[in-house]
Structure 1
Amino acid sequence: MGKLERKIAWFGTIIFMNKNSIFGWASFILTLLGIALILLGVLKYPDYAIGFSVVGVGFIAIGWAFNALKGRI
């Protein structure tokens, strides 16, 4: 096991995650949260849709930056 690998126990199995897979999962989760915030603002709270949308786009941008960092750090 390398220096940057992490052991994660998931349903009884051990998954080895290196830094690239951690960045990949983080970018995926941040993108999902951004989409959820945009949809929540548009569908449930239309009075505050602009604020929710701006924050959602910010989450998507951070997820995009994490995706771009894969393999570079």
Structure 2
Amino acid sequence: MAMNKNTVLAWATTIMIIVGLCLIGLGAFRYNDIAGWGFAAVGGGFFCIAWVFNALKGRV
């Protein structure tokens, strides 16, 4: 199975979305105090980076 640049970006996007969901879940359910806002913000950042990776597919 050969992995080209688009396949690597697709896997990176998928992993970033999963990690982002986990961080938002931690912020929402595990840490209900101020630290939860930080976890949710970092999870949102992971979504933004995943969006950029998805936009780069086919252009790199």
TM-score, normalising length: structure 1: 0.78
Q: Please say if 1:59 is aligned against 2:46.
A: yes
| Higher gyration radius (CA) | 1
Q: With a CA cutoff of 8 Å and minimum separation of 6, indicate the structure with the bigger relative contact order.
A: 2
Which structure: greater helix fraction? Answer: 2
**Equivalence for 1:32:** 18
Question: For residue 20 of structure 1, what is the amino acid of its counterpart?
Answer: N
Q: Please say if 1:44 is aligned against 2:30.
A: yes
Instruction: Give the number of equivalent residue pairs.
Output: 59
Question: For residue 57 of structure 2, what is the amino acid of its counterpart?
Answer: K
Superposition RMSD on alpha carbons, in Å? 0.6
Q: CA deviation at 1:18?
A: 0.5
Q: Secondary structure at the match of 1:46?
A: coil
Q: CA deviation at 1:49?
A: 1.4
TM-score, normalising length: structure 2: 0.94
Which structure: greater strand fraction? Answer: 1
- Any gaps of 5 or more consecutive residues in structure 1? 1-14
Instruction: List structure 1 segments (4+ residues) > 3 angstroms apart after TM superposition.
Output: none
Q: CA deviation at 1:23?
A: 0.2
